[in-house]
Amino acid sequence: MAAFVRHRIPFAGRRSVTAPATCAQRHIWNLMQEQLPDAAFYDVCYWVALPGRGTAQDLLDVCAELVARHESLHTGFHRDADGTLVQQVVDAAEFEAEVWTLGPHDDPDAVREAWERRMRHTPFDPARAPLIRFMVTVVDGACVLAAFCVSHLAVDLTSVRLLADEMTRLFDARAADRPLPPAVPARQPVEQAQLEQSPRGRALQARARAYWCRQLDAAPTTLFPDRGGPAGPVRYSAGMSSRAAALAVPVLARRWRVSTSVVLLTVVARLLGRRAGQPSCTLRLLTANRSDPDVRGTVANLHTEVPVTIALDGDRAEDIARRALAACTAAYANGLYDPDDVARLIASARGPGVPVDLSYCFNDIREEQALPDAAEDDEAVSGESLRAAMADTVVAPDEFEEGETFFIVIDDEIPGWLRVVLNADHRALTPSEVHAFLRDIERLLVEYVENTGGDHGPAAAVGGGTGRFSAAES
Per residue in 158-211, pLDDT tens? 999 999 999 999 999 999 999 999 999 999 999 999 999 999 999 999 999 999
pLDDT for 468 beyond 50: no
C-alpha dist (Å) from residue 396 to 60, 239, 241, 271, 404: 38, 6, 9, 20, 20
Question: Can you give the pLDDT at residue 470?
Answer: 22
Instruction: Please state, in angstroms and rounded to a whole number, the distance separating the CA atoms of residues 30 and 250.
Output: 37
- Residue 464 confidence class, pLDDT cut points 50, 70, 90: very low
**What percentage of the chain has pLDDT greater than the value 90?**
74
Residue 382's CB is within 10 A of a number of other CB atoms, namely: 14
**Of 299, 309, 359, nearest in space to 334 by CA:** 309
437 neighbors 429 (Cβ within 8 angstroms): yes
384 three-class SS: helix
Phi, psi of 45 (to 5 degrees): -110, 140
**What percentage of the chain has pLDDT greater than the value 70?**
90
**Of 349, 127, 390, 446, nearest in space to 243 by CA:** 390
If residue 444 lies in a helix (H) or strand (E), which one and from where to where? Answer: helix 431-450
Residues carrying CATH 3.30.559.30, the chain: 199-461
Residues carrying CATH 3.30.559.10, the chain: 3-194
Instruction: Please state, in angstroms and rounded to a whole number, the distance separating the CA atoms of residues 345 and 350.
Output: 9
pLDDT for 473 beyond 70: no
Strands of 92-102's sheet in order across: 3-12, 92-102, 132-139, 142-151, 43-49
Question: Can you give the pLDDT at residue 300?
Answer: 96
Residue 181's CB is within 10 A of a number of other CB atoms, namely: 11
Residue 61's CB is within 10 A of a number of other CB atoms, namely: 17
288 neighbors 303 (Cβ within 8 angstroms): yes
What sections of 197-242 are H helices per DSSP? 199-218
Question: Can you give the pLDDT at residue 390?
Answer: 96
Average pLDDT of the chain, as a whole number: 89
**Of 155, 129, 167, nearest in space to 45 by CA:** 155
Interior angle at CA 96, CA 90 and CA 97, nearest 5: 135
pLDDT for 459 beyond 50: no
Query: At the topology level of CATH, where does 3-194 sit?
Result: Chloramphenicol Acetyltransferase (3.30.559)
Question: Can you give the pLDDT at residue 364?
Answer: 95
Q: Mean pLDDT across the stretch 396-407? A: 91
Options 3.40.50.1010, 3.30.559.30, 3.40.1190.20, 3.90.700.10; CATH for 199-461 is: 3.30.559.30
**Helix (H), strand (E) counts: the chain:** 12, 15
Residue 143's CB is within 10 A of a number of other CB atoms, namely: 25
